[in-house]
Chain A
């Protein structure tokens, strides 16, 4: 299986502060990769770096997507190449209806059942936390991405909505061959989506990459993220 994404020795800063340091990561085509770590460790910054959000400044390193160096490529060009990011905190877009945005960005028709009540509303204006997540996921799916980065797509969802969201990710992204980077704090979504690998981030570094997310989670539950620093059980592969 080929690599869809290779991050080589990447260090980035945001507003003069170094947030990520020497990140090395490879994602396979069709792989589901889970990224976990405490709040503020740099998971969203890594997502933004891959997407090319301009507030992120690359100090060194490279981001290769499908064999092409995209480190200096603009955010919209990366999106057109097939990278899509479901934002953790999407901004409200006054006066822009979700229906219109989906028409504008959509490469494929999406089942609108989950968002039918939101279509005539302005994007993220007055949306609940759960509605924002569902709107994000539907937008991402409509873009038919090769690599979908889902930044805490499961937060703020009730159990029923979470199940629907998981089914959509499985059916519309994973089964369609998209690679997925799943940033999460919850084990239930990992249980359902069964990532092939999990990465643990601490202080802007990926300190561990393991093939067994269950063991990693068990260890974190017991020792906390700090325990990852001295853990010998996990398999490093990066």
Chain B
């Protein structure tokens, strides 16, 4: 990482390189938090060995930034993270997970829980950037208590060799989750599973997935919304397949167990429009650059 000036927590391989606390925020390693606070233990399946604990007690103007990096060859990380955002707190989180060199053949396994207490508002931008030989597994659960609001943006900017990602969002009374997942895969196998559970009255959630697959990529994305209580859920899954060596499988799933709930979905897989491509080329933009523009535009929608 070139500039770590604003980073609050920087973890490289198995070592904390930087830890900068802010007013109203407690940052610990997960193992320390597990030892120090009995109440956090219920959020860990077992005693964590590595990972971070952010306890955000006050609203923050600037984003809280974390960065998990791998710099050594054949290294395996196994992180258990916990973020707790207290009642009524508004915060922006920026999380990056990356490799500091290519061809490291590393394994990044990360999981954990993000708890949004009553009325908390969180905007979380999560970026992954990997090398072509890395392996990634991630499994996170978001718990949104009464009237909490989550805006979660996940962006895979550079794909690993293979990746499994599971995201579960539990929305209690009046909570709202707006999830956007952008995957740009290149010679990569991706298995995504994301789910919003509407567990409280008046809860709502939307998952937007944008997948681009090229160069021997295979992407499977199972997105689901389950309504246990009266609420609203929507899935918007779209794929862009760039060549015949790749494949995209989008599976939107709606499960309704409450007659007052409204669940909807839309899904489509397409290719780059010749018309759009020619239009941009007629503006003097090269074919390659025009394709990149269309892809980045697609991932932003």
A interface vs B, CB < 8 Å? 51, 53-55, 74-76, 79-80, 84-85, 87, 90-91, 93-96, 101, 104-105, 122, 139, 143
Contact = CB atoms under 8 A, between A and B. Distances in A.
Q: How large is the interface on B (under 10, 10 to 19, 20 to 34, 35 or more residues)?
A: 20 to 34
Contacts of A79: 281-284
B282 A53 contact: yes
27 contacts: A51-B282, A53-B278, A53-B282, A54-B278, A55-B274, A55-B278, A74-B281, A75-B278, A76-B286, A76-B287, A76-B290, A84-B283, A87-B279, A90-B279, A91-B273, A91-B275, A91-B279, A93-B276, A93-B293, A94-B301, A95-B296, A95-B298, A96-B293, A96-B294, A96-B297, A104-B285, A105-B283
Contacts of A122: 297, 301
B206 interface: no
Contacts of B294: 93, 96
B124 to A, nearest CB: 21
B70 interface: no
B165 interface: no
B127 interface: no
A146 to B, nearest CB: 13
Contacts of B222: none
Contacts of B293: 93, 96, 104
B297 A93 contact: yes
Contact of A143 (B273, B281, B284): B284
A47 B192 CA distance: 46
Contacts of A55: 274, 278
Contact of B284 (A54, A87, A94, A105): A105
A90 B273 CA distance: 12
Nearest to B299: A95
A75 B281 contact: yes
Contacts of A104: 283, 285, 293
Contacts of B280: 93
A51 B278 CA distance: 10
A115 to B, nearest CB: 15
A95 B301 contact: yes
Interface of B: 273-276, 278-287, 290, 293-294, 296-301
A94 B282 CA distance: 17
Contact of B285 (A54, A91, A105): A105
Nearest to A52: B282
A85 B287 CA distance: 17
Contacts of A96: 293-294, 297
Contacts of A80: 284
Given A76-B285, A94-B300, A96-B297, 16 more contacts: A51-B282, A53-B282, A54-B274, A76-B281, A76-B286, A79-B282, A79-B284, A84-B282, A87-B279, A87-B282, A91-B273, A91-B275, A93-B297, A94-B298, A95-B298, A105-B285
B12 to A, nearest CB: 34
Nearest to A75: B281
A8 B30 CA distance: 76
A91 B284 CA distance: 16
A145 to B, nearest CB: 10
A76 B286 CA distance: 6
B155 to A, nearest CB: 13
A85 B285 contact: no
A101 B285 CA distance: 10
A190 to B, nearest CB: 25
A74 B278 CA distance: 10
B240 to A, nearest CB: 11
Nearest to B277: A54
A226 to B, nearest CB: 32
A95 B273 CA distance: 14
Contacts of B275: 91
